[in-house]
């Protein structure tokens, strides 16, 4: 099994302990995602220390204030590291007002360019206020206009009505622990519709612990619970889904 999106540096427990627990649960590869200067360095450090860990580097929308050419150059330099396999997470977050939309847009556009330059996938964060779709709609439009053939990962997929649009574009949809919640019927409907070669699973640890661990801090080992729910809704065995997501991640991240 793989975890396509985690934040090891935020999880409870030591890094060695987290990686070992994941291995015991059958998680053989994980992508730890940086969000700003400090955590980008932490993600790369984790990847250097552990064979099973790879990194993504970028600037989260909620950390996009002050994004300039120097920040872009720093991300591009880290992106050339042999164990960095994606750029991001980046995108738009209109749920919180930590950073203005224009600052988020500037950072998002620059990171798309970095992903193109380095020929790396781009990890997308999208969050709207309840009942709205403006961030998601703008993200789709921006990627259509700017991203070209860069592989796109819609992390913590949360736009069930756009699952067909994502499939048409060949984008990857990654499902997190919230897909296991009793209220997640729309997400599970979407998970059943994603093409076999474009589905991924993740933890987004330490957030969104799956239902059996709800209320606890998430960690990469728990991704197997999300995978079990996704396998069930897709009508396949856990073993078959495991083979599928491992193959998809291998093709996408080259690990």
71: nearest Cα among 155, 79, 147: 79
Name 130's Cβ contacts closer than 8 Å, sequence gap at least 6: none
What percentage of the chain reaches a pLDDT higher than 70? 100
CATH class of residue range 2-253: alpha beta
Q: What pLDDT, in 10s, does the model give residues 213-239?
A: 999 999 999 999 999 999 999 999 999
Q: What pLDDT, in 10s, does the model give residues 91-137?
A: 999 998 899 999 999 999 999 999 999 999 999 999 999 889 999 99
Q: In the structure encoding, which two tokens stand for residue 89, read together? A: 């997470």
The continuous run of DSSP H or E covering 19 comes out as helix 15-25
Distance CA 238, CA 96 (A): 36
Residue spans of the domains in the chain: they are 2-253
Is the distance from CB of 94 to CB of 129 less than 8 angstroms? yes
In terms of DSSP bridges, do strands 53-57 and 199-201 run parallel, antiparallel, or are they unpaired? unpaired
């Amino acid at each position: 099994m793989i975890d396509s999106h985690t934040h090891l540096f935020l999880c409870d427990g030591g890094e060695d302990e987290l990686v070992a627990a994941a291995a015991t649960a059958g998680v053989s590869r994980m992508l730890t995602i940086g969000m700003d200067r400090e955590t980008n360095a932490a993600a790369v450090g984790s990847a250097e220390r552990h064979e099973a860990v790879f990194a993504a580097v970028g600037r989260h929308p909620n950390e996009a204030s002050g994004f300039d050419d120097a920040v872009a150059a720093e991300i591009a330099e880290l992106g050339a590291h042999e164990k960095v396999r994606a750029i991001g997470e980046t995108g738009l977050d209109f749920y919180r007002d930590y950073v203005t939309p224009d600052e988020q847009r500037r950072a998002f556009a620059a990171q798309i360019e970095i992903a193109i330059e380095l020929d790396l996938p781009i990890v997308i964060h999208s969050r709207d206020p309840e009942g709205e779709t403006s961030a998601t709609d703008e993200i789709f439009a921006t990627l259509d206009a700017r991203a070209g053939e860069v592989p796109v990962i819609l992390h913590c997929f949360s736009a069930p009505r756009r699952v067909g649009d994502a499939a048409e574009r060949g984008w990857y949809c990654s499902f997190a622990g919230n897909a296991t919640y009793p209220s997640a019927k729309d997400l599970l409907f979407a998970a059943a519709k994603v093409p076999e070669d474009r589905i991924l699973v993740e933890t987004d640890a330490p957030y969104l612990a799956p239902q059996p661990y709800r209320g606890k801090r998430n960690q990469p080992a728990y991704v197997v619970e999300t995978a079990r729910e996704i396998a069930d809704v897709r009508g396949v065995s856990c073993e078959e889904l495991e083979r599928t997501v491992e193959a998809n991640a291998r093709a996408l991240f080259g690990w």
